[in-house]
Structure 1
Amino acid sequence: MPSIVIPAHNEERTLGRLLATLLRGTAEDEFDILVVCNGCTDGTAAVAAAHGPRVRVVETPVPSKHQALRLGDTHARGFPRIYVDADVELGAADVRALAAALTGPDPVLAAAPERHLPMTGCSWPVRAYYRVWQRLPAVQGGLFGRGVIAVSGTGHARIAALPPLMADDLAASLAFADGERTVVRTARVVVRPPRTWRDLIRRRIRAATSTAQLERRQRESDAGRSSDAPSARTGLGDLRALLRADPTLLPALVVFLTAALVARRAARRAIRSGDFDTWLRDDSSRQE
């Protein structure tokens, strides 16, 4: 039986939407669904409990996604194991497709669904930014930025060994080689982007900070020996290739580069001080 672990910190506005989508059209014992409410001060636990016995609820006072995931592992009953962020939308058919990729005749160790980013209500700079971001090779092939990662038992052992990191989904994606992971084209997750420029920058500051933390850990673990650590950073060559393929992207590329520069500059203070705990939350994407 696939286990679905949902870490949730103050997600009463979004969790019900996800659970309703997951439970629609499923048998009572088809999935093991576990919501781990971590450090919640709102009604997240009540929202989860309202969906009945098919959803188990575990609570911890510690507001940590990493600890919530590990706590979920201690309560989860089966594999494949699917980790799902509380603010996305994923259906039962999508879970089945992910599980099939991990258990079929040619299984991989980790999988994620195709992402759909609805742009309704987003400002034009946000739309321009994601017009570029979604075309980047690392974004198209990586498992990060989807709010969902599914792993087999063997794959789980690999990500369970990862240290606590802000960029947990990026670290999990990079833990697997190309042939060990896949994006399942028959599965889809709805990931709501930020609606405003301010919230986009908050997300990008978080991304810049968390990427710096990951790269610092990679350097520390590879100290004293040569390293070719995997990376998902975007290079100028990637952007030039996009522009050659589609010259109409030029205005959007200017927006993309501006966002990247502003976020990296704003992230410097946190990186210098080693502040990898402050989570800059985007609330605009959680609005109905």
Structure 2
Amino acid sequence: MCGLMGTGMTIDRQTGPLAVSVILPANNEVALIGDCLLALLASDPVPGGVQVVVVANGCSDDTALVARAFAAQFTSREWELVVLDLAEGGKPGALNAGDAAATGRVRVYLDADVTVAPGLLAQLLQVLDVAQPRYASGTLVITAKGWVSRAYARIWRQVPFMRQGVPGCGVFAMNAAGRARWGDFPPIISDDTFARLQFAPVERVSVSAPYDWPIAEGLRALIKVRRRQDAGVDEIAHLYPDLPKNDDKAPFPVSEKLSLAIRDPLGFAIYTGVAIASKLTRHKAQGWSRSR
């Protein structure tokens, strides 16, 4: 099961609230949670300290147990580790449980398969430690292993929004004034899009520190994840029609697409094929899944 304590919680609490709370939902992430936490522990010094809230949710493995084993390392950094073990799965519920336990004035929402660079937390705190609402993320590094996913990633990382925007895939953060713009995360597919669109483009900031974010492996998984992503955007437009006005997706001109197709015909064919397959099978979209 997800640890030994059912719905238990481990807290190694320091004196007073810390500056940054990292909320880390994890569903059956025993293979990844250790590397994610080690990367956080390797972070540069963060003024005011860091609280990490791991929210194991609906697990059938030892995700929570593995996370709790890092308690001593967090104590040695004078950071705080909270491990929640929820019987019920679901990312929105995990995010809300993490928010309820978090005390930091800056909130960083982190996927368990992400590896952050040492400078990321400190840079996020620097740009978010302001009075006005602000949203931020790091410099996205898309990683893939198989040739199909690598080909897809070559094109995806060149799409104007991915190059010029602040997509927040796998990591997004905001200050207290920004988080106050809504209450609980709703039970929707795309929590990251929902959070990003709470902010106007001028309120979103990208910092230079990178983070590695792996995409789904294989054509079938890519289609499934792309379908879910597209359905999530459609769902937000339907349920929250005022939010898309904050979108800043730059145009993707035909001339630019043609240039990409000429330079990388295989990558462009795979990227386009995944997009078309997603559109044709949108009715099959389901809830949150990374499809590894």
Query: TM over 0.5, yes or no?
Result: yes
Partner of 1:266: 281
Partner of 1:95: 121
The unaligned stretches of length 5 or more in structure 2 are 1-18, 75-80
**Which has more helix, going by share of residues?**
1
1:1-288 to 2 correspondences below 5 Å: 1-24=19-42, 30-53=49-72, 54=74, 55-103=81-129, 109-119=134-144, 121-123=145-147, 125-144=148-167, 146-160=169-183, 163-185=186-208, 187-219=209-241, 229-231=245-247, 237-244=252-259, 247-270=262-285, 276-277=286-287, 279-283=288-292
Q: Secondary structure at the match of 1:67?
A: helix
Which deviations, in whole Å up to 9, do the C-alpha atoms of 1:31-77 show, x marking residues without a partner?
Answer: 11110111111100011000015321012112111111111111111
- Tell me, in whole angstroms, the C-alpha distance in 1 between the residues paired with 2:52 and 2:244: 38
The unaligned stretches of length 5 or more in structure 1 are 271-275, 284-288
- Paired AA for residue 212 in structure 2: V
- Tell whether the 8 Å contact from 1:243 to 1:249 is kept in structure 2 after alignment: no
- Tell me, in whole angstroms, the C-alpha distance in 1 between the residues paired with 2:274 and 2:266: 13
Same amino acid, percent of matched pairs: 28
- Tell whether the 8 Å contact from 1:136 to 1:238 is kept in structure 2 after alignment: no
Which deviations, in whole Å up to 9, do the C-alpha atoms of 1:142-201 show, x marking residues without a partner?
Answer: 44352111110011112536533211111211221111011112x111111223222212
Q: For the structure 1 residues 266 and 228, does the alpha-carbon distance in structure 2 shift closer, same or farther, using more than 3 Å as the test?
A: closer
- Tell me, in whole angstroms, the C-alpha distance in 2 between the residues paired with 1:11 and 1:184: 27
- Tell me, in whole angstroms, the C-alpha distance in 1 between the residues paired with 2:276 and 2:261: 23
- Tell me, in whole angstroms, the C-alpha distance in 2 between the residues paired with 1:234 and 1:256: 18
Partner of 1:273: none
| Cα displacement (A) at 1:209 | 2.0
